[in-house]
Amino acid sequence: MTNAKSDSSLLLYNWPTSTCSQKVRMCLNFKGLSWDEKILDWKNDEHLSPWYLKLNPNGVVPTLVHAGAVVTDSSVINEYLEDVFPEPGLLPKDAVGRARVRAWRQFIDEVPTPAIRVPSMNNRVAPVLAQLSEDEYQDRVRRRTIRRHFYARMGKTGFSEMEVIESLERLRDTVQRMEAALETSLWLAGNGMTIADISIAPTIVRMEDTGLHALWEDCPRVVQWYARIQAEPCFKATFHAGARHEGTTYRPDLLAAVLRNVDT
C-alpha cells in the first residue's frame, strides 16, 4: 500500500498472488491511494465462507468495499476507482480513446485472463487436489460457485493436454496482438498507461513466472513494454515479495510445440 493519498473507507478483500487482485492493487497504487485490506486464506477456501459470499456471491477475489458500498469484479472495480478517483487518470478524455481502452479490457477479460489460469492451476493447484480423497475433491468442487465447472474440468490431475495447448495458443495470440498495437504507441491504447495495460500486466507476470516468457521473446515491442511497465512505481508496489509464483516451469515440450504450430 502507498501512503500518498489516504482514503480509510477503502477496504480490499484479496490475496497477493491472485492476478485479478493484482489488477486492482496496481490501480490503487497508480492513483496513490491507501487502503485497508483483508487477505483471505485461499488454501482453506475462506473466499467460499458464508460471510464472504454475502459480500461477493461469485466466491472469488477481489472485492472492494468503499464507504459501505460493495464493488465486485476486478475490471469493474478499476473503472469504479477511475470514476471516484479520476486523477491521475487511467482512461483517455475522449470517447474514442476510452472505447479503445475498453475494447482491450474486454479482450483481456475474455482471452488471456482465463487462458493463463490453465497452466497456472495445473502448476499450483492440481498437485494439492491430487492429495485429496475423491470425496474431499468432489466436496471442494461442489462448494464452488461460478468456478464449479472450471474445477470439475480440471480434475484432480489438472487440465488436459489439449486444454493446455489451447490456452498457450490464446496467450501467444495475445502477445502478438500487443506487438501490433505497440507499433504506433508506447502503451496498448496510446502514449499513456491505461486500464488496458494494468489489466494485462498480471497475466504477463504469471506467464514469466510459469516459464512461458518464450511466447513473447520474439516480440521486441512487447519486451520493451514489459520493461517499461516494470519500471512504474505502481508495478513495483504491487509485485512485492510474496506476490509472485517465481521459479516455476510448466511443460516446456508443449510450449515448444505451440510455438512451432501457431506461427506456421
CATH assignment of the domain containing 37: 3.40.30.10
State which residues form the domain around 247: 95-262
Given strand 33-39, what is the order of strands in its sheet? 33-39, 5-14, 63-66, 69-72
Q: What angle do CA 78, 81, 83 make, to 5 degrees?
A: 115
**How confident is the model at residue 158, as a pLDDT?**
94
Please count the structural domains in the chain.
2
Burial of 192 (0-12, 13-18, 19+ CB in 10 A): middle
Same domain, 118 and 152: yes
Q: What angle do CA 125, 126, 128 make, to 5 degrees?
A: 70
Specify if 195 maps to a domain.
yes
Same domain, 101 and 183: yes
Q: What percent of the chain has pLDDT over 70?
A: 96
**How confident is the model at residue 2, as a pLDDT?**
38
Sign, CA torsion 242/214/228/104: negative
Task: Give the domain-ending residue among 20, 55, 84.
Answer: 84
Same domain, 187 and 127: yes
The model's pTM is: 0.92
Same domain, 121 and 54: no
Specify if 89 maps to a domain.
no
* Per-residue CA distances from 55 to 7, 9, 48 (Å): 20, 16, 11
Identity of residue 25? R
**How confident is the model at residue 247, as a pLDDT?**
72
Q: What is the pLDDT of residues 70-107, one digit of tens each?
A: 999 999 999 999 999 999 999 999 999 999 999 999 99
Same domain, 66 and 138: no
Q: With bands split at pLDDT 50, 70 and 90, how would you rate the model's confidence at 263?
A: low
Same domain, 68 and 101: no
More confident: 135 or 8? 135
Quick one: cell of 177? 496482438
Identity of residue 164? V
The Cα–Cα gap between 16 and 256 comes to: 30
**How confident is the model at residue 8, as a pLDDT?**
58
Rg (CA), the chain: 18
Q: What is the pLDDT of residues 225-250, one digit of tens each?
A: 999 999 999 999 999 988 998 777 77
Task: Give the domain-ending residue among 84, 106, 121.
Answer: 84
Same domain, 188 and 134: yes
Task: Give the domain-ending residue among 30, 59, 84.
Answer: 84
Report whether 229 contacts 193 (CB < 8 A): yes
Same domain, 245 and 141: yes
Same domain, 192 and 117: yes
CATH number, domain containing residue 166: 1.20.1050.10
